[in-house]
């Protein structure tokens, strides 16, 4: 596991309550759909690790403006959650957010997973522009 060791805020839902409590558990091999599982989403943001807090804030702000964008916490970088891939594949775009440099290639791998399943979307990679610029 890679970490920037940066402090990140507690993850809160739109009502200000913690997202990860004793009721919500991460399952091995499954991504966590935080927002957008029951809604027709324009697109999805898929961060992993400590990059989750900023996309969560962006999704809350977009929802306030009436723009429905889903959020998926990719918990397992080397596993493909088929159900989540097909959920994302129903939208028009996906933004993959990495807290490390985009050269780590998670976004490229994620895009390839979509294409392998016949789900050609507009994929945007978001991460740090250079080595050593991760974290807050």
pLDDT digits (tens, 9 = 90+) for 32-86: 899 888 778 999 999 987 788 889 999 999 999 999 999 999 887 788 999 999 9
Is residue 51 in some structural domain?
yes
Q: How far is CA 134 from the centre of its chain?
A: 16
Of 46, 60, 62, 44, residue with least CA distance to 9: 60
Residues with Cβ within 8 Å of 117's Cβ and at least 6 positions away in sequence, in order, are 82, 85, 86, 89
For the chain, the average pLDDT equals 82
Is residue 16 in some structural domain?
no
- Per-residue model confidence as pLDDT tens digits over 99-118: 776 666 788 888 889 999 99
As for how many domains the chain has, the answer is: 1
Report whether 92 contacts 44 (CB < 8 A): no
Residue for token digits 């723009």? Answer: 67
Is residue 119 in some structural domain?
yes
pTM of the model: 0.84
Whether the per-residue pLDDT at 132 is higher than 60: the answer is: no
Is residue 20 in some structural domain?
no
Of 81, 95, 79, residue with least CA distance to 41: 95
Q: How far, in Å, CA of 17 to CA of 134, rounded? A: 27
* Domain assignment of residue 53, given as a range: 46-65+81-131
Is residue 116 in some structural domain?
yes
């Amino acid at each position: 596991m890679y970490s920037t060791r940066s402090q990140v805020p507690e993850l809160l839902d739109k009502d200000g309550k913690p997202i990860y409590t004793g009721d919500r558990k991460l399952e091995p091999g499954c991504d966590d759909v935080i927002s957008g599982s029951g809604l027709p989403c324009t697109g999805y943001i898929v961060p992993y690790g400590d990059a989750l807090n900023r996309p969560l804030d962006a999704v809350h702000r977009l929802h306030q403006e009436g723009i429905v964008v889903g959020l998926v916490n990719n918990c397992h970088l080397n596993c493909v959650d088929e159900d989540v891939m097909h959920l994302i594949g129903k939208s028009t775009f996906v933004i993959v957010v990495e807290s490390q440099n985009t050269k780590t290639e998670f976004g490229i791998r994620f895009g390839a997973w979509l294409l392998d399943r016949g789900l050609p979307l507009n994929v945007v990679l978001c991460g740090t522009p250079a080595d050593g610029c991760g974290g807050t």
